[in-house]
Each structure stands twice: as structure tokens, then as C-alpha cells.
Structure 1
Amino acid sequence: MHRRRRTALLLTAAIAAAAPLLTACGNDAHPGAAAVVGGERITVSQLENRVDEVRAAQRAAVPDEAQYQQAIARTGGLTRDTLHSMVLDRVLERAARDAGVTVSDREVQQLRSGFEEQAGGAKALETAWLQQYGVPPQRLDENLRLQVTAQKLAQRLGTDTSRPEFWKALSDASEELDVDLNPRYGEWDAEKSSRVDAKTPWIKDVTATDGPPLAL
């Protein structure tokens, strides 16, 4: 179970990459898209909806206004982190598919049961995942499926999720998918399978935090 937890923490930490909020005139090639992955659009609306899910869960967990504002401050890069996660999810799924890796519902439930036992129950696990990783309760199983996928992919490659061989597989998948981010959110480094700050000089860095979920 400790190995599984390390796997989950590694992958979730990779998802949580903070960076300055960027503004730009948008992606002319893909209007309305936050990113295009494998020819499929992740729309700005879809991104905003995912951010809203997290903020709503945070509000429900900490109804006190002061505590809610503190929660927002701790997740100031939520919009960028969420897009990073949405893209990385697709990259991992492609790498797993290329390697012939599949994940069953039973495997996801087994991982969840183990984490719930460690955390002290289902509610405690949901709270921990929300506070630590910005994953709302309704996305928990989805996130855990990715943890299982990452673990099984690493096993198929004869390595673990911290080793270069694992990230090389994600890099290859990134190249296959030809990930294209709206410059507003930065750029996708296929070699690192990670969102990075855009190096375009005409993009202005306006703030270090995202603010409200719809204030893009």
C-alpha cells in the first residue's frame, strides 16, 4: 500500500505545477480552446467547469468565508493546474493504450479502499484529496483510476513512476498527441510532459494567482 501511495503522490504532484497566470489574445488556430490534444479540444468552458467543481467542493467543505478565502489562496494556480491535469490525463491514457495497459473498476475500488483505510474513512479521504490535490469528491474515482493506470504502465515498462523510462513513455505519447495549449495558459513541453510558461514576449504576466475560477 505504501508503494501505491507513493505512486499516487508522485503523479498528483506532477499534475500540480504552479506558474504565473498569462493573458493573450487567444489561440487563433483553435478559438475557444484551452488546449488541443490529439486533435480533440479541451474548451475554455470545460476548463472553467472543472475549476468550478473544485471551488464548489471547497465552499461546501469550509462554509466560513474566511476559511474559504484561505482555501482559494492555497490553490491560487488552480486554473493552470487543472488544465495541466486534464492534458496529462490524456497523455497518460495514450501511453497506457500504446503499452496495452487496461484498468478495471475492481482495481480502482481496491486502491480506494486501501486509501480510505489509511485516511480513516471515505469522507476523510475525499477531504484529504480535495485539500492536498484539488480533486473534488466527484472526481476522486477518476483520479484514482489514473493512479492505477500509472502504476500498471510503470510495471509494464519494468520500472516505476519516478524513473526516466516511465516519463519517456509519457513524452512519446505527448509527441503523438501533438499537444497545443492556448498561449494564455503557457506551453506544453512534450519532453517533460508538463505545462510550462510561454516564452512568447508579447504575452503579459499580469498576476501570480488565478483569483476566482471564472476570472481568466
Structure 2
Amino acid sequence: MSMLVFDFDGVLHDSRERAWRCYQDARTQMELWALPDLAGPGDLPLVYQGVLSESLTRWVGFEVAERFWQRHAELTARAAADEPHGVIPELVGPLAALATGPGYAVVTGSHHATVRALLTRDLPQEAMPQILLSRDQPGGKSDKLRDLRTRYGATVYVGDTGSDIRHARAAGLTPVAVAYGYASREDLTAAGPDQLLDTPADLAAWCRTRLTGHRAGAPAPSRAT
């Protein structure tokens, strides 16, 4: 089994409530009244459609949208300290098992320190991802995924938006999507993942199936440092 790669927000960590609150705060602070006023986290799929960098250009220009997402990332990083949970409980065990076997990586649009702090709430050091790439490292998500495929043999990226699916395909990885994150099921289906998992329990079972196949096959590859 090759190294698996996961998105963080919406896949390993449920940050939808925080993302919604910070979206509303950024919209108010920047006075971007052209952006939709979201009533709650359930409305997030309205703005998490297609390619994320272009998802707001239905209402504002591209440069304004980029500044908005930068501000949104700053606000969500600050608010992370108030999150009641880190890793979604059903996924703690599978991640620990992956870490001691083939290893896993996280590629995220959030800040490195924020993601690491949330991971360490529930995972001991030996269960942490071998590689964590965030918005603080240069390059886009496709570039980071392509590098993981080239250097470490990564084959699958698990994401929660149509944008994640497109980045995975652009990097030559197999896209797997979860339906409990930020995007609507319709947007995910339109992007065409190889597999669509409904719940965290489904993702946990999928990981265990992958691990079972790995243990029955060849020895684990060397872990990345």
C-alpha cells in the first residue's frame, strides 16, 4: 500500500461551524455585501463550489476573492483555539494505524501551526502524519500533491470539495471524496471522484480495508521524515 494523502478541514477535522462564522466575519469586516449572507454552516456549499480560487468570482473580482480567502484563513486560524475537538473521533484509530504502517500525509489550505495543534489534541507523536504541507509552504495544492507522488509514491488524495478532486487528478493521484465536508454532494459528483464516502465511519472503514490489503501484501515502504 502506498502513502495516502488527506485534506484536513472537512475530512479529518470538522471545522464547518468555525468556517461559517469566520466567513460571516470576513464578509462584514471587508464590507463585501455582494457575497451571499450565509444563514449557517449548512449554506457553505454555496461558496465551496468548483475550483475554490474561483468560487467567489460569481459575486466579486478574482483579486478581491483572493484577499477574502486570505482574511478568512487568518480568522479561522485565530478561532481554532476555541474548537472543542481536533480529529474526528472515528478517524483517530485509522490514522494511528496508517502512521505505523505505510504512513500518511496531510495537504491543507489552512495554516501549519493551526493544523498541527488540532492534530496533537487527539494523536500522539507516533500517530502524526509523516508529512504536513499547508498554505505556509510555497506552491499550490496540485504542486504539493505531485511532489508527494514523485518523492513518496503517494497514490490517493482524500478531499471534501470539487476543487480537491480536480487538484488530485491534475497531480496524477486518485481522488476520493467525502460527503460530510464543505461541498454539496452534487458538486462532488460533478467533479467525478473515483469513490464518494458518506460519513467519517465510511472513511474509517475504507482506511481499514486499505490497511488489510497492505498487511496481506508486500512490506511497508520506508517512512518519510
TM-score (norm 1): 0.25
With a CA cutoff of 8 Å and minimum separation of 6, indicate the structure with the bigger relative contact order: 1
Q: Larger % of helix: which? A: 1
